[in-house]
Amino acid sequence: MVVLIGLLAGIPAAIACDSPRQMEGFKTCADVAKAESEGTLVVYSTDPEAAAEQELARFHALFPKIRPNYLRLQAGALYARLLAERQGNVYLPDVTQLADMSFALDFQKRGGYMQYVSPEMAAYKPEYKSSPEGYWTWGALVMAAIAYNPNLVSREEAPKTWKDMLDPKWTDAISVKVTISGLQHVEWYMLRQLYGNDFWSQLAPLKPHAFDSYVQQFDRLVNGQDKVALTAQYSGYLMMKAKGAPVEFVIPPDGVVAAPQPWGIVKEAPHPAAAQLFMDWFLSLPGQTGNAEVLLTHSARSDVPPPPGGVSINEFKVLTPTDWHAFEQTHAQFVREWNKITGLR
Amino acid sequence: MNRPRIEVANLAVRYGDVTAVDDIGFDIASGELVTLLGPSGCGKTTTLRAVAGLETPSGGNIRLNGETVYSASERRNVPAEKRGVSMVFQSYAIWPHMTVFDNVAYGLRVRKLPAAEVRENVQRVLGLVQMQAFSDRPASKLSGGQQQRVAVARAIAFSPSVLLFDEPLSNLDAKLRAEMRVELRELQRRLDITSLYVTHDQEEALAISDRVIVMNGGKIEQIGTPEDIYNRPRTRFVADFVGSANLIAGKVRGPGSNGTLLFEAEGGVQLEVVASDASTERDTVALRTSYIHLGSMPGSHNAVPGRIHRRMFHGDFIQYVVDWPAGQLIVRRPPTELFDEGSEVTVSFAPIHCVLL
Amino acid sequence: MRLPAITPRQIVMPLVVLVCGALVIYPIAFLINESLNVGDPSTFPPEQYGFDNFTNLTDDYRALANTLLVSCIATVLAVIFGFLQAWILTRTNIPGRQRLERLMELPYYMTPLIGALAWGVLLGPKTGLVNQAWRSLGAPGDLFNIYSAYGIAWVMALFEGTVAFVMISAAMKSMDPSLEESSRVLGAGKLRTALRITLPLVAPGVLSATIFVFAEMLGSFAAAFVLGIPGRFYVVTTEIWQATLSFPPDYGRAAAMGLSLFGVMLITLTIARFVLKHGTYTTITGKAFRPREMDVGAMRWPLLALAWGYIVVAVILPLGALLLTSFERFATVILPQMHFTLANYQTALQMGSVGPAFVNSLILGVSVSTIGVVVIGVLAWIIYRSRMPGRGAAEYVIMFPQAVPRLVFGLGLLWAWINMPIPIYGTLWLLGLAYFTVFLPLGLRTIASVVLQVDPSLEECARVCGAGWVYQMRTVTMPLLRPGLVAAWLLIFIASVRELGVSIFLMGPNSKVIAPAIVNSWLSSSSELSAAMALIQTATVFIAVAIMFSLARRVSGVTQ
């Protein structure tokens, strides 16, 4: 059936296996016995360690014979290691999450991913996975818009739309992400598409402060060092809210920016069966639900409930690039402009 | 037995442009204590260290006990630890992290002697330097004099054939120095160890040595017994450096009586002086200050009138500055011979004490 | 003609030098290779070679200017702190000097990153704790905004001040007190004596401290990272960070920047070496100077306050800020918003990766320091005591890792070791080798100062007593170097546990270490969790060091 649709769509046929096995809540094409005999699963990702460990613990609970091993690195360092390892013919990770679509596309181009079509990938819209299918799939969607501290900024003063951010009263009081942030690139790109490049040239004189981590952004909001966070992650907001911190999130009517987190299996994975089994579980309903709970992000699957405390994805107008190649090509320009906006040049 | 223990020939040591030791040679017989004497920078310590193997010479050769330990032509240089010589350092080089016993036992333990023998030897040498009571004390807790004794004990513990001393007493106070030099000499005689000793203190050199090698500017000025060096200096330098001497300028006029020469100094002063075959310059006479009498002297002598200009009491002697026709003379007399400043005296001295350089 | 026998010395000495030299040069060769990459910046090895990466650096002079500005201010501050503390603790008679000297080690236990975080809490604009106190006193604005060039310099100086203190107090302790006494006897007051006599006499020590501190400041990263970027202030190291972690990664540019900084630091280190050579440092002989303290009379109390002040400002305040943060539900400094909890510690201790990471860090710390001090001890002896040809060049080369920014050197190590046929990538062995390589300069510098103080006649005497080279090293040289060896052990141990830049690139899923974990949690989890982890790390290091010291004291007989 899948093959037929594939042929009809003109996409090279990507074959899930003929008879996927039904496990607890998900289907798999992997050789479970072989996966268990491999005994280990190595994951390289940018997700916070505490959260990732919880998610992997759930997998481990289902398959006690497979011991998950996790290494957290920042996106750039992660990619540097992947490339260096490939060049040196050393292969340690089985599965990798690259937080930036540019990295994922580049990795795909270099033949870094194993093509494995999981039966669970059928639940993902074509724009949420690689084409041809099976290289990478969006394992989470990071939503970002605007946040503020209601104790310090009243509801009336608070921005309601993206354009409200251009008000000079926010001078020296805005936080954004640094140039190397993939999320920031997406926001820049999408808001440019919506409002033209004027938007950013008007934002520049407000001298926003750039941060590498959303943790810093939210801390500063809470402490009044910034008044608003532009490029505020929804997951960060939910996390702070759960801790009782005074933060509010603004859902602009024009839409909320979304940056995907592509997951894929490394081609020379040392434990390929375990990797495939994991991908099947991770992309399934239970896997994605768990992921949304621990990371407080949304899933690209429509049947997954929103993260605890958050609103369903359907409440957002999601702004995300459709043509990733075009998006990638704007990168150099983004870097130049963003460096100027954040004071590097 | 007849073979000299230390033989040094054509030794040269150069550091870049600087020549520290310039083609010197000497032999030291078995049981002798020979001192290298000279001012700082004359090359004596460098020579000593070359014999020890702590400096690499630039030329010449060195033989110890008949065996060549350094030879420029043969490209041979036996490392210090294999030469079998022992050394007492100026700073004593007592290892602060060991006890006195361990310090002294070091050389014995290196030679892997059994523990009982080690103990025996250590006790023995500590006894020789009267430091048995300190055997277990940490070495860092010793006074200067005590460290010096331990350094000596350590050096002789393994009965070396040759013992080298690098100004071992220069860090002690004057009284202790005087006592220690006697003890060292006694020890050396008793054990009959061939020794090469370095010092800048000419009094010390004269007191303890069998022979003295006076060095200056990397070269040897004179080798001889202490009496030789003192009474018959061959160069101005030796005359001036060893003991205190008056250097009288003038000219030889002709023969004098009894094999002496007639020497005319300034102011018309005529003296009878003696010369050796080595006298080269013949325009200076060296006269030791303690060989000058104030007052008349019986026998054939030189006598010239003079006047006391200054008097200084030094305790064991009085030093006078005497004006005489040829300038000024320094005279040392026992404290019993007291003259007032300004008084007229006759300076007299024997011809054999006037050495023509 | 007799052929000379090959002695153990002739094998061991060149071997040690060659191995250490190779460890250093190998990654640098890769860096040089990559810096000439003008093709695709993310390929390795490079496809095209050229000098563009270097020529392009000139259009980015602002980062370099910022780096120099911050480094100069920080160096001046650090040397002032170090000098004042050294003078107060070694030359005056304020009470409790011994204890204060011990406490001066404390700032070194804290990672500069954590320190920068803590100072953000204290002096963040508007709501930093200190600024809040300042405002409550009625002042209009902030006392100080830490997110600025001066803020960065302040934090850096507080940490490097301990290094300056150690070096300068060593120089002060070996001063001949009669030189000062003669000044006082001639009628000069204490202040005048301090300025006209003490200062010039310790000038060589101060100068070398200044140069080393400056070299460290040039390559420092953490403070500029935490406090600079948000303040729109970039330095060369944060620019390098940007170049390596962005997409597409510009390794060529990063390598070129790192090597340029390397060039600058080589020059400063050359000057340092020149200065060191021209000093006489022999103090461990029969005679040693015992510095006599100056009685400062009524000034005791202000000076005591000043000395404690440094400890408070450099250690207690930041630790306090961290402590506060670690117990909060969410990090805040605004009193009415504070809620407290133990959850952060619970999470930190329960995290599966934390336990193994701590264990790994401790194992690495102990093994790298222990093996390191022995090898570096021999190396120091070779460079400063022997006459082996090429030892001057060896000293130079060993100092290279100091001059390359850690992040860039980490990249070099990654490329170098991943291409080695030996399968140590991803293991603790690789981390151990990498740590050893980057800590060679630190160890050498520490042990060298003690080597220079040992009177050569102590070793010559051993040789004249018949000891071969190995016997002499074992029975005389190493024991005499003990204070330096112990100090080096301590410094390398702490540095290993704190190490970040190299660990990021070289740790594997089975060889995690603790410092990256703390940084990761700061970047992606929360400040409270990071604060809790940082405090656990500091406490662990503290306890480990205390245990080591009591063990060492029990094992050794003679102290000092």
Which pLDDT score is estimated for A6?
44
Residue of chain C minimizing CA distance to A338: C232
% pLDDT > 70, chain A: 95
Given a contact as 3+ CB pairs under 8 Å, which chains touch A? Answer: C
Q: Is residue C166 scored above 70 in pLDDT?
A: yes
DSSP code per residue over B216-261: ETTEEEEEE-HHHHHHS--SHHHHHHSS-EEEEEEEEEEE-GGG-E
Same domain, A124 and A213: no
Q: What's the Cα-to-Cα distance from C360 to each of A53, A242, C302, C355, C511, rounded to whole Å?
A: 19, 33, 45, 9, 7
Same domain, A210 and A235: yes
CA atoms C509, C514, C515, C521: torsion sign: positive
Residue of chain C minimizing CA distance to B90: C457
Same domain, A336 and A212: yes
User: Does the beta-carbon distance from A180 to C508 stay under 8 Å?
Assistant: no
Low-confidence ranges of chain A (pLDDT < 70): 1-16, 345
Q: Looking at this predicted complex, what is its ipTM?
A: 0.81
Q: What is the pLDDT of residues A266-323, one digit of tens each?
A: 999 999 999 999 999 999 999 999 999 999 999 998 889 999 988 888 888 899 998 8
From chain A, the residues in CB contact with C33 under 8 A are: none
Q: Is residue B216 scored above 90 in pLDDT?
A: yes
Same domain, A97 and A242: no
Distance from CA of B72 to the nearest CA of C (A): 12
From the list B235, B344, B334, B322, the residue with the least C-alpha distance to B290 is B334
Which residue type does B85 have? V
Which of C231, C425, C520 comes nearest A90 by C-beta? C425
By the 8 A CB rule, do B350 and B260 touch? no
Range of the domain at A221: 142-258+315-341
Same domain, A80 and A190: no
By the 8 A CB rule, do C269 and C402 touch? yes
End-to-end CA distance of chain B: 37
From the list A11, A28, A31, the residue with the least C-alpha distance to A271 is A31
Which of C7, C463, C480 comes nearest B97 by C-beta? C480
Tell me the whole-structure pTM to 2 decimals: 0.80
- Between positions 174 and 213 of A, the ones with CB within 8 A of C are 175, 178-180, 182, 207, 209-213
From the list C175, C204, C181, the residue with the least C-alpha distance to C193 is C181
User: Does the beta-carbon distance from B86 to C285 stay under 8 Å?
Assistant: no
Give yes or no on whether C38-336 and C342-560 have one common fold: yes
- Between positions 91 and 120 of A, the ones with CB within 8 A of C are 92-93, 100, 102-103, 106
Q: What's the Cα-to-Cα distance from A43 to each of A53, A146, A278, B265, rounded to whole Å?
A: 10, 32, 10, 106
Q: CB distance from B52 to chain C under 8 Å? A: yes
| Average pLDDT over chain A, rounded to an integer | 88
By the 8 A CB rule, do C251 and A79 touch? no
Structural domains of chain B, ranges and CATH numbers in brackets: 6-231 (3.40.50.300), 244-356 (2.40.50.140)
Same domain, A186 and A329: yes
Which pLDDT score is estimated for B1?
53
Domain boundary assignment for chain C: 38-336, 342-560
Which pLDDT score is estimated for C5?
60
Residue A243: both structure tokens together? 């801790």
Q: CB distance from A50 to chain C under 8 Å? A: yes
Which pLDDT score is estimated for C291?
60
Residue B266 DSSP code? G
Same domain, A216 and A159: yes
- Beta-carbon contacts of B15 under 8 Å, excluding residues fewer than 6 positions away, are none
- Residues B243-255: what's their mean pLDDT? 87
- Residues B251-278: what's their mean pLDDT? 82
Q: CB distance from A140 to chain C under 8 Å? A: no
Position A13 in a domain: no
Position A12 in a domain: no
**CA–CA–CA angle C114, C118, C120 (5° rounding):** 115
Distance from CA of A300 to the nearest CA of C (A): 21
Rounded CA gap, B355 and B284, in Å?
8
Rounded CA gap, B185 and B191, in Å?
10
Same domain, A164 and A291: no
Same domain, A147 and A196: yes
DSSP code per residue over C325-367: HHTBSS----GGG--B-SHHHHHHHH-TTHHHHHHHHHHHHHH
Residue of chain B minimizing CA distance to C483: B97
Position A10 in a domain: no
Which of A175, A182, A246 comes nearest C337 by C-beta? A246
Distance from CA of C467 to the nearest CA of B (A): 6
% pLDDT > 90, chain B: 54
Residue of chain C minimizing CA distance to A68: C509
User: Does the beta-carbon distance from B81 to C466 stay under 8 Å?
Assistant: yes
Position A19 in a domain: no
Confidence of residue B133 (pLDDT cuts 50, 70, 90): very high
Q: Is residue C411 scored above 90 in pLDDT?
A: no
Which of B91, B106, B147 comes nearest C465 by C-beta? B106
Residue written as token pair 């500063």: A220
Residue of chain A minimizing CA distance to C527: A215
Residue B200 DSSP code? S
Residue written as token pair 């040239």: A201
Site from C58, C229, C250 to mutate, A interface, most A CB atoms within 10 angstroms: C229
Confidence of residue C508 (pLDDT cuts 50, 70, 90): confident
CATH of the domain at A167: 3.40.190.10
Rounded CA gap, A86 and A30, in Å?
25
Rounded CA gap, C10 and C8, in Å?
5
Which pLDDT score is estimated for B277?
65
Q: What are B265's strand-pairing partners?
A: B250
Same domain, A46 and A67: yes
Which of B75, B93, B95 comes nearest C1 by C-beta? B75
Same domain, A201 and A319: yes
- Residues B88-107: what's their mean pLDDT? 90
Rounded CA gap, C37 and C50, in Å?
6
Q: Is C333 exposed, middle or buried (0-12, 13-18, 19+ CB in 10 A)?
A: buried
| Average pLDDT over chain C, rounded to an integer | 81
Position A75 in a domain: yes
Position A49 in a domain: yes
Q: CB distance from C466 to chain B under 8 Å? A: yes
Distance from CA of C78 to the nearest CA of A (A): 27
Position A225 in a domain: yes
**Would you state the CATH architecture of domain C342-560?**
Orthogonal Bundle (1.10)
Q: Is residue C80 scored above 70 in pLDDT?
A: yes
Segment holding C529, helix H or strand E: helix C527-555
Same domain, A64 and A135: yes
Residue of chain C minimizing CA distance to A209: C230
Q: What is the pLDDT of residues C308-366, one digit of tens each?
A: 988 888 888 888 888 888 898 877 777 777 788 888 888 888 887 788 888 999 999 99
Q: Looking at the domain that runs over C38-336, which CATH code has it been given? A: 1.10.3720.10
Q: What is the pLDDT of residues C177-214, one digit of tens each?
A: 666 776 666 777 767 777 777 777 777 778 877 887 88
Provide the number of structural domains found in chain A.
2
Position A8 in a domain: no
